[in-house]
Structure formats: C-alpha cells, structure tokens
C-alpha cells in the first residue's frame, strides 16, 4: 500500500518530506503538493500518514496483490498520547482500534548530561549508565568468570 496524497487536502507543508525514512515523499513541481515519487520503495510504514497535519495522505494496497476498495486510516494524537485506527474491508466491514503511544509529555526525557557526573572508576567498570540501580536486581551487574571457557569442537582450522 504505497502512500498517495489527496489533492484537495494537502497544503504543501512539508512534514511528510521531512519525516519519510525512505526519502520518497517529495513536492510536485506543478501543484506544490506532496506525492510519493517511488511507490516501490515504500514500506507502508505510515510515518508520513501519521505526520500529516491535514490527514491528506492515505495508502492504497500494493497493486500487485491488494484489490481495491479497502481503507486503513489513522489518527495519531500526540497531545492525547493515542493512536486510533479505522479499517474498512473491501466488502465494507469495519474495525476500530485505539492504543496509547506514550505515557509522559513529549520532550520530558532528561538529557544524560543533567545526571551527576560519573567517576573515573565508574568509567573503568562494566556498568552502563543508570546501572546497577536500573537493573532492579540484588548483587549488581551479572558477570562471567573467564575460567569457564570451553572451546568449540575445533579451535579454528
């Protein structure tokens, strides 16, 4: 289902161009609206569909295996932390789903630079940032002892 853009909904804002991981959403030179320049390199990831403020982008299943008449549309509401889906089958059946996408405000993740500066000893250790606390286990970071090595069936050939 490569993406396509509804002519009358797109206002040429560029969010899809900005987000497409495959670099295939670009601006048409006749109408200054977005379109999919390379449908066969579209993963149907819906990144552009979700990013479009006008809901102007939709998908039509890949021509080589998807018959017409279906619709899988999405409304991603960041401020609510939700994503809503509406599926319509070729025969008209519908299904609706809503899921959470985030539990904290956008932009709320602290930079690691705001945390206390680690010591040189910590840098020399095997522990990563936030460890051992973030492991939530007793006894610290698990480790192996080198003495337990067993070579494979043959040590090289």
Partner 1 sequence: MFTINPFAELSATIPGGVIQAYVILMILLVIGGTLFDVLHKGSARYFFDNWSRTQARGGRPLGGGKIAALAVQTAAVDVLTSAEFCNQHRRIAHLLTMYGFVIYLVTTLVLVFGGTGVSGLCIFLWYAGALMACAGGFWFWFFIRVDVLAEGHSPFRLVRADLFIVSLLASVTSGILWGAAQSMGGGALAVGFLILYVGASTVLFGSVPWSKFAHMFFKPAAALQKRVEKANGTRRGLPAPADRPGTLGSSRRLPQNY
Partner 2 sequence: MALFGGRKTVHVDADILVVGGGMAGCGATYESRYWGRDLKIVCVEKANIQRSGAVAQGLYAINCYMGMQWDENRPEDHVRYARNDLMGLVREDLGYDIARHVDSTVHKFEEWGLPIMRDPKTGRYQREGKWQIMIHGESYKPIVAEAARKAASEVYNRIMVTHLLRDRTRENRVAGAVGFNVRTGDFYIFRAKAVIVCAGGASHIFKPRAVGEGMGRTWYAPWSSASAYALPMQLGAKMTQMENRIVLTRFKDGYGPVGAYFLHLKTYTENVYGKEYESTWYEDTKALVGDYIDRHPVPTCLRNHAILKEVAAGRGPIRMVTREAFRDPHKETVGWENFLGMTIGQAVVWASQNIDPKETNPELTTSEPYVMGSHATCSGAWASGPEDYAPDAYQWGYNRMMTVEGLFGAGDTIGGTAHKFSSGSFTEGRIAAKAAVKYVTDLRNDLPDVDENECRALEEAVFRPLETYRVGRNEIVAGTVSPSYILPIHGLQRLEKIMDEYVGGISTTYMTNEWGLKRGLDLLGMLKEDMAHVGAEDLHQLQRAWELNHRLLASLAVTHHTLFRKETRWPGYYYRGDYPKLDDENWHCFTLSRYDARTGEFAMETAPVYHIVD
Residue with the two structure tokens 């539990």: 103
43 tagged catalytic: yes
User: Nearest 5°: phi and psi at 134?
Assistant: -65, -15
| Among partner 2, partner 1, none, residue 140 binds (CB under 5-8 Å by kind) | none
Among 68, 91, 93, 96, binds partner 1 (CB under 8 A): 96
Residue with the two structure tokens 């960041």: 78
| Contacts (CB under 8 A) with partner 1, residues 28-57 | 28-32, 53-55
Nearer to partner 1 (CB atom), residue 13 or residue 135: 13
Q: Which of these, 1, 5, 45, lies nearest to 21 by C-alpha position?
A: 45
Nearer to partner 2 (CB atom), residue 10 or residue 20: 20
Residue 101 contacts partner 2 per CB under 8 A: yes
Residue 9 contacts partner 2 per CB under 8 A: no
Q: Which of these, 82, 85, 30, 77, lies nearest to 59 by C-alpha position?
A: 85
- Give the shortest CB-8-to-partner 2 separation in angstroms: 23
Tell me the C-alpha distance between 15 and 42, whole Å: 17
Phi/psi region, residue 136 (left: phi>0; alpha: psi -120 to 50; beta: rest), is: left
Residue 118 contacts partner 2 per CB under 8 A: yes
> Would the CA dihedral through 134, 135, 139, 143 be positive or negative?
negative
Estimate to the nearest angstrom the gap between the alpha carbon of 146 and the chain centroid.
39
| Among partner 2, partner 1, none, residue 10 binds (CB under 5-8 Å by kind) | none
Q: What are the residues binding partner 1 (CB under 8 A)?
A: 6, 8-9, 11-15, 17-19, 26-32, 53-55, 58, 71, 73-75, 77-82, 84-86, 88, 96, 98, 102, 104-107
**What residues are labeled active site?**
43
């Amino acid at each position: 289902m490569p993406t396509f853009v509804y002519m009358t909904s797109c206002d040429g804002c560029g969010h899809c161009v900005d987000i497409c991981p495959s670099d295939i959403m670009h601006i048409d030179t006749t109408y200054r609206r977005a379109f999919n320049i390379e449908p066969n390199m579209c993963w149907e990831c819906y990144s552009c569909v979700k990013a479009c403020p006008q809901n102007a982008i939709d998908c039509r299943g890949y021509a080589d295996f998807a018959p017409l008449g279906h619709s899988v549309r999405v409304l991603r509401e960041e401020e609510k932390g939700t994503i809503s889906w509406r599926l319509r089958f070729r025969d008209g059946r519908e299904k609706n789903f809503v899921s959470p996408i985030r539990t904290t405000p956008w932009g709320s993740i602290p930079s690691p630079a705001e945390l206390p500066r680690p010591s040189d000893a910590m840098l020399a250790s095997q522990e990563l940032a936030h460890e051992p606390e973030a492991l939530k286990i007793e006894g610290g970071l698990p480790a192996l002892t080198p003495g337990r090595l067993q070579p494979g069936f043959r040590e090289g050939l």
